[in-house]
Amino acid sequence: MRDAFIRSLTEVAARDPAILLLTGDLGYGVLTDFADRFPRQFLNVGVAEQNMTGLATGLALEGHTVFTYSIGNFPTLRCLEQIRNDVCYHRANVKIVSVGCGMSYGPLGISHHATEDISIVRALPYITVVSPCDRWEATEATRALALQSGPTLLRLDKSSAPELNEPAEMFRIGKARIVRQGRHVTLVATGGILGEALTAADLLASDSIQCRVISMHTIKPLDVDALIASATETGGIVTIEEHTVEGGLGGAVAENLLEAGALPGFFLRIGLRSGFSSVIGSQQYLRHVHGLDATAVAQSVRSCLAGSPHQYVARACA
């Protein structure tokens, strides 16, 4: 998704000289073409993410659309105060691009695991939080955010779900995508782990369990209408995220459904529940360890269906 982002940004920067890209001394090779083509639209600020965020705010207040680029927690949690006091308070047109989110950098340990950023950043006023699930969404989100003013977190995973977009499909910030229809349960995922949700849906289909699968690429603003429809039209809702369950996608979905009075037959948050991951390894290995892979998701859904009296569940198990 990182490569899809930079290709898309290069295209829009060629048409709009107000677009700037700042990096915290990262992205060698990835950002080389952009830097060579647009030397006046690119700046390496060094290993100084807090300074990068303050600088980006000043440039944005002078009329630029500024993208800041770094990995994992470095452009978010490391400079949270600058994002809050500078970017969000001034509603500056700064797009914070965090690559390698979730446990993408699994072998490097918790310092490089971005597994609390959704919870923390979405609590800030005025900020949009976008977490694409595949390369097409990453491409389209970059184009859309270049045109949309205001603070944004663009959260990019190393993994990517299969591209299921229709030829004439339109991408909209804040509008979820239903990538598979089903009536028994709704699986709502954000980020590249959507791929695990789709595989889990295939496994459940062998048990005659039909899953509606939603790509929730925008966490804030959340597509509440799509969630209400799923709560009333399917037997239950399961959220899936490579992130802590406290305050992430699952928290956002639960808050909005409860406030809307739309109670699903059952509700389950699948995400990190055991604190920091003291295990290192590949992203796929860590998903397996923490019960976030397709097999574990499918088993969790089966357990929910077996324990729910909802009408849709009865039909699924009939």
Residues serving a catalytic function are 49
Nearest to 186 by CA among 268, 100, 292, 119: 268
Q: Are 211 and 188 in contact (CB under 8 A)?
A: no
Q: Within the chain, how many helices (H) and strands (E) appear?
A: 12, 12
Residue in the block written with tokens 């390369």: 135
155: tokens are 């959260």
Residue in the block written with tokens 């009408």: 311
290: tokens are 């923490």
CA distance 9 to 67: 9
CA distance 10 to 257: 39
CA distance 21 to 44: 9
Nearest to 226 by CA among 202, 190, 201: 190
Q: Are 302 and 238 in contact (CB under 8 A)?
A: no
Q: Are 245 and 116 in contact (CB under 8 A)?
A: no
Q: Are 186 and 310 in contact (CB under 8 A)?
A: no
